[in-house]
Amino acid sequence: MNEEIKTLTISIYTENNIGLLNRISAIFQRRGINVESLTTSQSEIENVNRFVIVVNITETQAKKIVGQFEKQIEVIRAYYHTDEETIYTESCMFKIKSELLFEEPQIQNIIKESNTRIVTVNKEFFVLEKSGRRHEIESLRSQLNVFGIMQFVRAGRIAVTKDQMKVTEMLTAFNNQKQ
Amino acid sequence: MNTKTLNKTKEMAGKTERITGAEAIIRCLIAEGVSTLYGYPGGAIMPVYDELFKYKDSIHHVLTRHEQGAAHAAQGYARISGKVGVAMATSGPGATNLITGIADAQIDSTPMVCITGQVPSTLLGSDAFQETDIVGISTPVTKWNQQVTKASQIPEVLAKAFYIARSGRPGPVLVDITKDAQFETFDFEYKKCTGVRSYKAIPDTDPASITAAAALINNAKKPMIVWGQGVILGQAEAEFKAVVEKSGVPAAWTILGASALPTSHELNVGMVGMHGNYAPNKLTNECDVLIAIGMRFDDRVTGNLSKYAKQAKVIHFDIDPAEINKNVHADVAVLGDAKQSLALLLDALNKNTHTAWHQEFKDLYAIEYDKVIKNDISPTKEGLTMGEVLKQINIETKGNAAIVSDVGQHQMIACRYADFNITKSNITSGGLGTMGFALPAAIGAKMAEPHREVVAIIGDGGYQMNIQELGTIFQQKVPVKIVVLNNEFLGMVRQWQELFFDNRYASTEMTNPNFVAIAEGYYIKARKVVKREELEDAVKEMIASKESYFLEVCVEKEGNVFPMIPTGASVSDIRLS
Q: Which residues contact B553 (CB under 8 A, 6 or more apart)?
A: B384, B389, B483, B484, B485, B486, B528, B529, B535, B538
**Peptide bond just before B41 cis, omega within 30 deg:** no
Q: Does A31 touch chain B (CB under 8 A)?
A: no
Contact (CB<8Å) A174/B321? no
**CA B520/CA A151 separation, integer angstroms:** 73
Cα of A19 to nearest chain B Cα, Å: 7
CA-based max dimension of chain A:
69
Third-level CATH fold of B382-554: Rossmann fold (3.40.50)
Residues for chain B: how many in total? 577
pLDDT at A179: 43
Residue type, B472: T
Q: Which residues contact B463 (CB under 8 A, 6 or more apart)?
A: B406, B438, B439, B484, B515
**CA B24/CA B17 separation, integer angstroms:** 10
Contact (CB<8Å) B325/A175? no
pLDDT at B3: 57
**Per CATH, domain A89-154 is 3.30.70.1150:** yes
Secondary structure of B297-311 in the HEC alphabet? CCHHHHECHHHCCCC
Q: CA gyration radius for chain A?
A: 20
Section A4-17 average pLDDT: 95
What digits encode the pLDDT tens for the residues A43-86? 989 889 999 999 999 999 999 999 999 999 999 999 999 999 99
Strand bridging mode B172-178 / B185-188:
unpaired
**CA B539/CA B325 separation, integer angstroms:** 46
Strand bridging mode A125-132 / A86-97:
antiparallel
Residue B199: strand pairing partners: B196
Is residue B497 a contact partner of residue B503, using CB atoms and an 8 Å limit? yes
CATH architecture of the domain covering B3-188: 3-Layer(aba) Sandwich (3.40)
Alpha carbon B164 to its chain centroid, in Å, reads: 18
Contact (CB<8Å) B322/A67? yes
Contact (CB<8Å) A64/B200? no
Contact (CB<8Å) B325/A64? yes
- If phi > 0 it is left, if psi is from -120 to 50 it is alpha, else beta; for residue B568 that is left
Q: Which residues contact B282 (CB under 8 A, 6 or more apart)?
A: B364, B571, B572, B574
Strands (DSSP E) contained in B208-341 are 223-227, 251-253, 268-271, 289-293, 313-318, 332-335
Q: Kind and range of the H or E element at B76? A: helix B67-81
The CA-based angle A96-A97-A101, given to 5 degrees, is 90
User: Which residues in chain A have Cβ-Cβ distances shorter than 8 Å to B145?
Assistant: 19
Is residue B340 a contact partner of residue B254, using CB atoms and an 8 Å limit? no
Of B198, B324, B326, the CB nearest to A15: B198
Domain borders along chain B are 3-188, 207-361, 382-554
Domains B3-188 and B207-361 share a fold: yes
Strand bridging mode B426-428 / B402-405:
parallel
**CA B373/CA B369 separation, integer angstroms:** 4
In chain A, the residue whose alpha carbon lies closest to the alpha carbon of B321 is A67
**CA B228/CA B301 separation, integer angstroms:** 11
Contact (CB<8Å) A26/B140? yes
Of A107, A10, B350, B145, residue with least CA distance to B133: B145
Q: Which one of A1, A46, A73, A172 would you mutate to disrupt binding with B, by most B Cβ within 10 Å of its Cβ? A: A73
Decide if pLDDT at A122 tops 80. yes
Q: Does A64 touch chain B (CB under 8 A)?
A: yes
How many Cβ atoms are within 10 Å of B337's Cβ, its own excluded? 21
Three-state secondary-structure class, residue A86: strand
The CA-based angle A55-A58-A63, given to 5 degrees, is 90
User: Which residues in chain A have Cβ-Cβ distances shorter than 8 Å to B200?
Assistant: 174, 177
pLDDT at B12: 56
Distances (CA, A) of B501 to B237, B492, B576, B577: 42, 13, 19, 17
Of B18, B17, B13, B22, residue with least CA distance to B148: B22
Of B135, B144, B321, the CB nearest to A73: B144
How many Cβ atoms are within 10 Å of B546's Cβ, its own excluded? 6
Decide if pLDDT at A27 tops 50. yes
- Residues of B annotated as catalytic (active site), given as ranges: 67, 129-130, 179, 492
In chain A, the residue whose alpha carbon lies closest to the alpha carbon of B148 is A18
Distances (CA, A) of B363 to B250, B254, B278, B546: 13, 21, 10, 42
> pTM, whole model, 2 decimals?
0.95
Strand bridging mode A35-42 / A48-57:
antiparallel
User: Which residues in chain B have Cβ-Cβ distances shorter than 8 Å to A70?
Assistant: 321-322
Crossing angle of the two packed helices B338-348 and B237-247, in degrees rounded to 10: 20
Cα of A66 to nearest chain B Cα, Å: 8
Q: Alpha helices, DSSP H only, in chain A?
A: 20-30, 59-71, 98-103, 105-113, 134-145, 167-178
User: Which residues in chain B have Cβ-Cβ distances shorter than 8 Å to A63?
Assistant: 325
Name the band, by pLDDT with cuts 50, 70 and 90, for residue A104: confident
Q: Which residues of A80-112 are buried (b: 16+ CB within 10 A; e: fewer)?
A: bbeeeebebbbbbebbbeeebbeebeebeebbe
Report ipTM (2 d.p.).
0.90
**CA B178/CA B197 separation, integer angstroms:** 26
Q: Which residues contact B58 (CB under 8 A, 6 or more apart)?
A: B1, B2, B5, B6, B26, B30, B35
**CA B290/CA B329 separation, integer angstroms:** 11
Of A26, A70, A171, the CB nearest to B197: A171
pLDDT at B66: 98
Q: Does A22 touch chain B (CB under 8 A)?
A: yes
In chain B, the residue whose alpha carbon lies closest to the alpha carbon of A14 is B198
In chain B, the residue whose alpha carbon lies closest to the alpha carbon of A74 is B198
**CA B3/CA B274 separation, integer angstroms:** 50
User: Which residues in chain A have Cβ-Cβ distances shorter than 8 Å to B139?
Assistant: 19, 22-23, 26
Contact (CB<8Å) A19/B135? yes
Q: What are phi and psi of B526, to 5 degrees?
A: -145, 150
User: For chain B, which residues score pLDDT lower than 50?
Assistant: 1
Q: Does A3 touch chain B (CB under 8 A)?
A: no
Of B2, B161, B13, residue with least CA distance to B87: B161
**CA B484/CA B463 separation, integer angstroms:** 7
Torsion of CA B415, B421, B427, B430, to 10 degrees: 40
Report the CATH number of the A6-87+158-166 domain: 3.30.70.260
Q: Which own/partner contact pairs does A3-6 have at CB distance under 8 Å and 24+ positions apart?
A: A3/A58, A3/A59, A3/A60, A4/A58, A5/A56, A5/A57, A5/A58, A6/A56, A6/A57, A6/A58, A6/A59, A6/A82, A6/A83
Chain B residues near any Cβ of chain A (below 8 Å)? 135-136, 139-140, 143-147, 164, 194-200, 320-322, 324-326
Cα of B195 to nearest chain A Cα, Å: 6
pLDDT at B361: 98
**CA A151/CA B349 separation, integer angstroms:** 69
**CA B153/CA A69 separation, integer angstroms:** 26
Cα of B3 to nearest chain A Cα, Å: 32
Of B507, B417, B496, B497, residue with least CA distance to B461: B507
User: Which residues in chain B have Cβ-Cβ distances shorter than 8 Å to A68?
Assistant: 322
Q: Which superfamily does B207-361 belong to?
A: TPP-binding domain (3.40.50.1220)
Of A71, A76, A175, the CB nearest to B322: A71
Is residue B439 a contact partner of residue B456, using CB atoms and an 8 Å limit? yes
Crossing angle of the two packed helices A20-30 and A59-71, in degrees rounded to 10: 150
CB pairs under 8 A between A and B: 53
Residue A92: strand pairing partners: A130, A154
Is residue B75 a contact partner of residue B434, using CB atoms and an 8 Å limit? no
Distances (CA, A) of B353 to B21, B97, B278: 60, 51, 22
Contact (CB<8Å) B320/A23? no
Is residue B228 a contact partner of residue B293, using CB atoms and an 8 Å limit? yes
Residue type, A80: Y
In chain B, the residue whose alpha carbon lies closest to the alpha carbon of A71 is B322
Is B261 exposed, middle or buried, given 0-12, 13-18 or 19+ CB atoms closer than 10 A?
buried
pLDDT at B262: 98
Cα of B321 to nearest chain A Cα, Å: 7
Q: Which residues contact A138 (CB under 8 A, 6 or more apart)?
A: none
Is residue B415 a contact partner of residue B405, using CB atoms and an 8 Å limit? yes
Domain borders along chain A are 6-87+158-166, 89-154
Of B139, B195, B321, the CB nearest to A22: B139
Three-state secondary-structure class, residue A118: strand
Of B436, B441, B442, B440, residue with least CA distance to B407: B436
